[in-house]
Amino acid sequence: MTLEILTSEALGPVRHGFFTRRGGASSGIFEGLNCGMGSSDQAEIVHINRSRVANAMEVAPEAMTFVHQIHSPDVLTVSAPGEGGGQADALVTATPGLALAILTADCQPVLLADPENGVIGAAHAGWKGTIDGVLENTVAAMEAAGAERSAIRASIGPSISQRAYEVGPEFFERFMDEDPENARYFGNGEGDRYLFNLTHLGADKLRAAGVGVAEWTGHCTYSDPQRFYSYRRSVHQREADYGRLISVIRL
């Protein structure tokens, strides 16, 4: 099966892709394009999957840069292959030929580009990283690398949608303590539960940071098991582990 690569018109001419799970070498619960070295999938199979992604992006595997994601607001700016690998949740570069890669399985993969000034970014934005500032920090790092905020275009890829993201009252209260205006990101669920709109929050954070365009592709990871891995779905189905989707952008 060939790879399935979702793209966003918002990112214009910049080469990028939100890869689905289709077309990979993994099997079992990881069936498809599992790119997560942190999973219990066979390492050599994950390397094969990553190589297929690098080939699709027309870069050498060593030019595809990753970080060890920890749900932080931290951003790493890179200028050469091999400079990734540290603990952070976003990457920025102005170096042609480098590809920035983010892994997700419900959290927001956010790809950003200023095509005019040749600066790109990629962020892993779960709820914690989003409220702690990973998206604002990514925009700031892009600006420091030569981008103009108003020229930055951002696309949020396949993420868990509000209809599938049920949370408890403690989660809701944490957001209310942060800012009462955050109530707009919650809908009523069953009983004392709420439905949280992560992608709405992410898009608002990006717009508030001054980017020119911010949009979500509209794909829900939880609701489409044939195309996407989902951490939350794996928990609900009592699976032992779950695959990781990859999203990549390059100059």
**Angle (deg, nearest 10), helices 134-144 and 198-208:** 30
What are the DSSP calls for 44-77, one per residue?
Answer: HHHHHHHHHHHHHTTS-GGGEE--B--S-S-EEE
Kindly report, residue by residue over 172-184, the tens digit of the pLDDT. Answer: 999 999 899 999 9
Domain ranges of the chain: 5-161+197-250
Q: What is the CATH number of domain 5-161+197-250?
A: 3.60.140.10
What six digits make up the tokens of 180?
């009462």
**pTM score, two decimals?**
0.96
* Predicted local distance difference test score (pLDDT) of residue 214: 97
Kindly report, residue by residue over 61-110, the tens digit of the pLDDT. Answer: 999 999 999 999 999 999 998 888 889 999 999 999 999 999 999 999 99
Q: Of 107, 74, 68, which is closest to residue 92 (Cα–Cα)?
A: 74
* Predicted local distance difference test score (pLDDT) of residue 1: 67
Is residue 130 within 8 Å of residue 174, measured between CB atoms?
no
Residues 6+ apart with CB under 8 A from 40: 240, 241
Kindly report, residue by residue over 182-228, the tens digit of the pLDDT. Answer: 999 999 999 999 999 999 999 999 999 999 999 999 999 999 999 99
